[in-house]
Amino acid sequence: MFADIQNRIAELRQQLEYHNYRYYVVDTPEISDAEYDQLFRELQALEQAHPDLLIPSSPTQRVGGAALSEFAQVSHITPMLSLNNAFSDAEVQAFDKRVCDAIDLVDINYAVEPKFDGLAISLVYEQGQLVSGATRGDGYVGEDVTANIRTIRAIPMTLATATPPSRIEIRGEVLMLKADFIKLNQVQLKNQLKEFANPRNAAAGSLRQLDPRITAARGLHFFAYGVGQCEGWDMPSHHSQMTQQLATWHLPVARQVAVVVGVAGLLDYYQRIGNMREQLPFDIDGVVYKVDDLAQQAQIGYIARAPKFAIAHKFPAQEATTLVLDIDVQVGRTGAITPVARLAPVLVGGVTVTNATLHNEDEILRKDIRIGDSVNVRRAGDVIPEVVSVVLSRRPVDARRFVMPTRCPVCGSHIVRLENETIARCTGGLYCPAQRKQALWHFASRRAMDIDGLGEKLIEQMVDADLVQHPADLYRLGLLNLVGLERMAEKSAQNLLVAIEKSKHTTLARFIYALGIRHVGEQTAKDLARYFGNLDSLIKADELNLLQVPDVGGVVANAILQFFAEPHNRTVVDLLCAAGVHWDDAMPDNVVNSALLGKVFVITGTLPTLSRDEAKAKLEAAGAKVTGSVSKKTDYVLVGADAGSKLSKAQDLGIAIIDEVSLLNLLGQQHD
């Protein structure tokens, strides 16, 4: 029983982290907020019941997702915490009781406001001037989106006051009004581009544009709802007074903010806002209650990820009942096979729904969804409608179970599901049209074939123009093919062709990595190249051979076997070699005679003549492994100028310390 609880907690953490990434980082969520909340609350309950299983890295101990790497990171001086949720009157009553007990009072005054469905933002004003804007990120570190924030006309560049604070951080929500969302999708449709699923998704994607001109054209809006850090200004004593002050400075504040008394006032406000929800110019998914008195807030305090003096009262997801006409599968960019229910059209949340995600095969079995069933479907503004439950009392006698196909519906390659994974995948990674863009982008990336100038947007153009179907087609491109593409002048096309030609001479490790084999990262590709020495030996290897490679376990070995077992993939590999892609075969590890074979090195400081990458390449070519941190397993620490803490740690552990001259001697090379 205890093992089952441990396994369920581990499964929930994995699911939540995955969906955090989909929602906050890449802006392509796969499940509804209600489903996420259900998983989160289940994990919270299990951790509370078993506190010995709580770990600092659990999703319940953090706020949101990681900052995008394309933007500079900004540390929030005061963390931007999220709120705990309430879904019933009883939970609101329990919240009010906790607040009353904490400060020994009854009939508390609460500041209440709509819960915007957008993106949390921090604005910093110095001497009344807007100096920066950042997303919430993980609550502690966000993304610097100042250039894009400045394009939002609702945000004043200068506070409307002659006596501004010396520095103030104003918090609020960037969102897209419903009317602007409709206009944006009309433009997308006219330009034959993909429509956005809802205003929240459109706002998040628009604010994260690397080109501020795109953000400016999207019609984003902003509402302020609080203050973080403040210097050089006497803060009001109440939250409601603070929002009033923000409004006098010409910052947008929702008209629906109010102050109510006690739990009766909270529930009445919830009902009133719920009744006007459809008429509001923006999307909301609930209301927020905060103790109005700031001194009382401080007295009540915080827990790890949320204030105890505030809570979000979420609206129930809107649902409807309809029929499952069929279940088929869709193939994602990475080969993920997602079952999709084809539904009899039904109106849910003001939108006609005909499809709903079923997530994966296990989810279908868990909910026992069958073709012909009557099901409850939920949308409530979510990106992808989902089947919530089956109405078993209406199940027809001829209802059919779903069977996961064994072949990809797009390319015909085998569908496999690896051990300990919930997602089935198409194995035709290099060949499958559904995975084409992703496979090409990975193949051309800097750590793989390093084709300079071949980015994601250009790959999309090539694929859409049917110039490239698989990586080998890149080596057949000519000048005339490229100059016809948008923003591709003759000189740019010629430069790209030179880069493609240059990429033909690579290394076996880079080539293996470029193939995009699942679970085979850059280091594993190097280990495989070093062990087998040539591609033919790797392709012919069985599971026993593969398991001899350092750090290759059963999951990785099976992924490699399945990749090369797919004829489509081997055909593309043959075509790449026929196109002139080549490398120098190395003596494999199992026959190489090197004093450095298997030795573990750490590099620190600046070397006199070699870059770190050059030193690493030389060591790996000799069979050594280069890691990033010093441990008892480290054999040598290669030290250059301005070496840091790694040198001290190596000295403490008694690990051999060498310089560049000693390295070259070990490698048997003459130092100039």
Taking only the tens place, the pLDDT of each residue in 503-520 is: 999 999 999 999 999 889
CB neighbours of residue 457 within 10 Å: 10
When comparing pLDDT for 318 and 101, which is higher? Answer: 101
Q: Which of 115, 314, 618, 646 is catalytic?
A: 115
Give me the mean pLDDT over the 102-108 stretch: 91
Closest by CA to 339, choosing from 322, 356, 319, is 356
pLDDT of residue 304: 65
Model confidence at 592: pLDDT above 60: no
High-pLDDT (> 90) share of the chain, % = 33
Model confidence at 438: pLDDT above 60: yes
Instruction: Out of 1.10.1660.10, 1.10.287.610, 1.10.20.60, 3.40.630.30, select the CATH number for domain 2-61.
Output: 1.10.287.610
CB neighbours of residue 72 within 10 Å: 11
Give me the mean pLDDT over the 401-427 stretch: 88
Give me the mean pLDDT over the 289-311 stretch: 91
Work out the pLDDT band at 383, boundaries 50, 70, 90: low
pLDDT of residue 25: 42
The residues facing 602 across adjacent strands are: 627, 637
DSSP 549-594: STT--HHHHHHHHHHHHSHHHHHHHHHHHHTT-B------TTT---
Work out the pLDDT band at 672, boundaries 50, 70, 90: very low
Closest by CA to 475, choosing from 502, 455, 453, 448, is 502
Using a 10 angstrom Cβ sphere, with 0-12 exposed, 13-18 middle and 19 or more buried, the burial of residue 241 is: middle
Taking only the tens place, the pLDDT of each residue in 118-153 is: 899 999 999 988 899 999 887 888 889 988 888 888
CATH of segment(s) 85-314: 3.30.470.30
pLDDT of residue 24: 45
- Alpha-carbon torsion (357, 360, 363, 369), positive or negative: positive
Q: How far apart are the C-alpha atoms of 508 and 526, rounded to whole Å?
A: 8
Contacting residues for 519 by C-beta, under 8 A, at least 6 apart? 555, 556, 559
Q: How far apart are the C-alpha atoms of 126 and 168, rounded to whole Å?
A: 7
Please report, as a single letter, which amino acid is at residue 210.
L
Give me the mean pLDDT over the 359-383 stretch: 82
Q: Which two three-digit tokens encode residue 242? A: 């603070």
pLDDT of residue 670: 41
Are 597 and 622 a contacting pair, CB within 8 Å?
A: yes
Is 115 one of the annotated active-site residues of the chain?
Answer: yes
Lowest mean pLDDT among 101-110, 226-235, 516-525, 662-671: 662-671
Model confidence at 441: pLDDT above 70: yes
Give me the mean pLDDT over the 231-239 stretch: 93
Ranked by mean pLDDT, the top range of 90-94, 148-152, 299-303, 664-668 is 90-94
Q: How far apart are the C-alpha atoms of 626 and 624, rounded to whole Å?
A: 7
CATH of segment(s) 406-592: 1.10.150.20
Which helix (H) or strand (E) is 388 found in, with range?
strand 386-390
Give me the mean pLDDT over the 598-605 stretch: 87
CB neighbours of residue 464 within 10 Å: 11
What topology is assigned to 600-666 in CATH? Rossmann fold (3.40.50)
pLDDT of residue 403: 92
Work out the pLDDT band at 668, boundaries 50, 70, 90: confident
When comparing pLDDT for 576 and 194, which is higher? Answer: 576
DSSP 472-529: GGGGG--HHHHHTSTT--HHHHHHHHHHHHHTTB--HHHHHHHTT-TT--HHHHHHHH
pLDDT of residue 617: 79
Work out the pLDDT band at 586, boundaries 50, 70, 90: low
When comparing pLDDT for 31 and 200, which is higher? Answer: 200
Question: Average per-residue pLDDT in the chain?
Answer: 86
Contacting residues for 44 by C-beta, under 8 A, at least 6 apart? 60
**What are the sequence ranges of the domains in the chain?**
2-61, 85-314, 319-401, 406-592, 600-666
Q: How far apart are the C-alpha atoms of 18 and 24, rounded to whole Å?
A: 10
pLDDT of residue 382: 47
Lowest mean pLDDT among 97-106, 247-256, 426-435: 426-435
pTM of the model: 0.47
Work out the pLDDT band at 671, boundaries 50, 70, 90: very low
Q: Which backbone phi and psi does 180 adopt, to 5 degrees?
A: -70, -30
Are 377 and 320 a contacting pair, CB within 8 Å?
A: yes
Contacting residues for 648 by C-beta, under 8 A, at least 6 apart? none
Give me the mean pLDDT over the 425-451 stretch: 88
Pairing of strands 636-639, 625-627: unpaired
CATH of segment(s) 319-401: 2.40.50.140
